[in-house]
Structure 1
């Protein structure tokens, strides 16, 4: 099964005539339909809320689409993500601040906004109290069970090697201390595996956290109000992978909820999620143009994007499917490395990838870049971040972030004026 772009070749060529490549393109229709599915999948839980992981796609147009349209909140992990949430009108009780190694000023600002603070470490209890002068009435703690996390005997991840969260012993002691310092409403949070393409992950995680919640209430007397399943629900980057079924996932969590929490009289607990990749990944693409070809020991296609635009293949060896637009039905009978122009040999979007013959000027649609794509960009080699565009439901296109210019790159130098001449010479 091949992946289909959410835009036609004709439409994309039209867009590229107005907006220079490379650029990110997001599918408004797909985003909204997916958000609606998530909300319906967990509608059995009256308190359910998705806290969209801002780190995945920190564009206010997109975040606001989710918070205004569906009542979702935001999951923030830095000062600027908190500021973004405040600026677009997200109320404090719809902000989850899940940070680690947290600077004091960020705890202070989260508390000022009325965000729910999710403590990553036992020592942060005293640090938070010293910083803001009190312990909030509503507080959350992040749990790390250690060891390996398995689904159907397959190792999904290694929590024991993760820097996040508290041990079980620390968690119980944290709840006792926080309760003694005035906390009244408690939450539990855990993230045990990344990008799982299985409907079993959330239900298995839920059972671990639900049983933990029962024990915590009994042994500490803490009133647990919510359980945050965090992220980890993945997407099928490869064409041969089967997508997750969010309705099966939601119903799986529902069944565990009824089995574990309901008999204990804890049926009023709210379920929270913090999905970024699942919410946005398939609904964004990096669009780039073939500008060079090279024939040495391998066949190379050089494009006008590079790893600063999408670092996942270079950093993780991650697979991103590529469609050569206008050649969707052509045979994939050419083997290419698709590369960018960085002075790094790992600056490759694909290695030994079978694709149709690529001609100079062809547009390449790099799939599943809607989350952890633009947001992980950087400026190595003095490269500049691209624009972000939104393909609206009515077929129009809106620029939701302009491309960086050399003036942006030089703007943080104290002696910016020395660049004025060369910038003006080149029309910036």
Structure 2
């Protein structure tokens, strides 16, 4: 049977949980840094290349600071993500602001920070102008080609935007031309193009295929509007293999595929100065985080259940998407997977299951389980249903030491937004 190897050993984990009780989100600093460097190497042929990490995937300041040290910027979609980016030292062109159905105050803050604003709809042009009093000289527009996008594999049951025609994001092709003309007439001088067509593609062909679509449109928009297009943002979509049998995307092959498209389309059009951007959340962090949890109950009724001290409030992807996350029982990596379990949390919802009918080694009470690939869209999607409290985030540093990068919530945090004066004295 195919297996995934955790980045933490049983011995390390047992020492970590002595200081930080389970459940915890654990991150691998070494893996994060090495992955960022592979990405930059793959696109080193493009002198303006920059990765804008999708803050929504892992909105943790210490993680953002590590990525900043590796040359990354931030991709923000809300007021508070902009605030976090500013607090972490990002400013100006280091920030992309891509939002939809955007409140005026978000645009105001993005403009104050000098962020590059990416407009989701043509009606946002007058809305933005009214909100901030002008149109920025540097501006971007988000494109949606419509139809159905089919290429390679996406995680089964988890297709966020593989049908662009049904997605709420972006402008039509005709609107892109109209938007560029309008923005240029209002003073914009530097233009960008952005698009996101598919989520978590397990294919080296996705980025090159998207690049060809955007590169060709860039040439057309330049001809139609005379706009100076200085960057093209390929956004996210490069996936990770949640299942052990799935292939791993090769970022070097992906970068070379984009380079070939760049040289075939943009260079002949005299657009060889266009910078390329990415906004990779899952690819950058997913495999370099895990949810560490302990088995605390075993229940045998119509099925065999293992209850752990984490729940969907800590990692909700399996509950809401039916998404697969691999599980390793630490210390039993080489034991036969001859027991069938549902691995569950304690929420009052039957979907609170990290695994269903999963073949695993025999699990004993007290065993530590690693739930893999929770580094992106793990902690960030947490919530407080049933009064559950968000778990701590811990960084496994390159030298093997650990750092608490977000403490666990307490009941005081849960009640902090309420006026509970005297409540517990009644």
TM-score (norm 2): 0.97
Alignment of 1:347-358 (within 5 A): 347-358=352-363
* Contact 2:295-2:365 at 8 Å conserved across structures: yes
2:398 is paired with a residue of what secondary structure? coil
Counterpart among 274, 277, 280 of residue 275 in structure 1: 280
Residue in 2 aligned with 1:17? 18
Counterparts of 1:70 and 1:211, CA distance in 2: 31
CA–CA separation in structure 2 for the residues paired with 1:150 and 1:281: 23
Q: How far apart, CA to CA, are the structure 1 residues paired with 2:171 and 2:139?
A: 14
For 1:390-428, what per-residue CA distance to the aligned partner results, in whole angstroms no more than 9, with x for missing partners? 000110011000000000000100235534x69xxxxxx
- In structure 2, what is the equivalent of residue 301 of structure 1? 306
Matched, 1:188 2:193: yes
Partner residue of 2:96?
Answer: 96
SS of the residue 1:175 aligns to: helix
Please show how residues 7-406 of structure 1 align to structure 2 within 5 Å: 7-67=8-68, 69-151=69-151, 157-406=162-411
Aligned CA-pair RMSD: 1.3
> Taking structure 1 as reference, are residues 339 and 52 closer, same or farther at Cα in structure 2, changes over 3 Å only?
same
Whole-Å separation in 2 of the counterparts to 1:405 and 1:123:
43
SS at match of 1:328: coil
Q: Secondary structure at the match of 2:110?
A: helix
Equivalent-residue separation in structure 2 for 1:153 and 1:55 (angstroms): 23
Deviations 1:289-330 (A, max 9, x none): 000010000000000000000000001000000000000000
- What SS class does the counterpart of residue 146 from structure 2 fall into? coil
Q: Distance in 2 between matches of 1:190 and 1:90?
A: 23
Structure 1 CA distance for aligned equivalents of residues 234 and 85 of structure 2: 21
Structure 1 gaps, min length 5: 423-428
Give 4+ residue runs of structure 1 displaced > 4 Å after superposition: 152-156
Structure 2 residue matching 1:151: 3-state secondary structure:
coil
| Higher mean displacement: 150-159 or 72-81 | 150-159
Confirm or deny: 8 A CA contact 1:410 1:416 kept in the other structure: no
Q: CA deviation at 1:235?
A: 0.1
Q: What whole-Å deviation, never above 9, does each CA across 1:228-272 have from its counterpart, x for those lacking one?
A: 000000000000001000000001000000000000000000000
Distance in 2 of aligned mates of 1:111 and 1:414? 35
Superposed displacement of residue 151, structure 1: 1.7
Q: Give the whole-Å Cα distance in 1 for the aligned partners of 2:423 and 2:61.
A: 33
Q: Deviations over 1:340-374 (max 9, x none)?
A: 00000000000000000000000000000000000
Residues matched between the structures, number = 420
Quick one: distance in 2 between partners of 1:262 and 1:290? 57
- The 2-side partners of 1:13 and 1:5 are apart by 14
The equivalent of 1:3 in structure 2 is: 4
1:177 and 1:200, CA in 2 relative to 1: closer, same or farther beyond 3 A?
same
* DSSP 3-state at the match of 1:157: coil
| Cα distance in structure 2, aligned partners of 1:360 and 1:159 | 46
TM (normalized to structure 1)?
A: 0.97
Residue 192 of structure 1 contacts residue 232 of structure 1 at CA under 8 Å; is this kept in 2?
Answer: yes
Does structure 1 retain, via aligned residues, the 8 Å contact 2:152–2:201? no
For 2:238 and 2:57, the matched residues in 1 are separated by: 13
Distance (whole Å) between structure 1 residues aligned to residue 151 and residue 342 of structure 2: 34
Q: Secondary structure at the match of 1:50?
A: strand
Measured in 2, the distance between the counterparts of 1:312 and 1:70 equals: 28
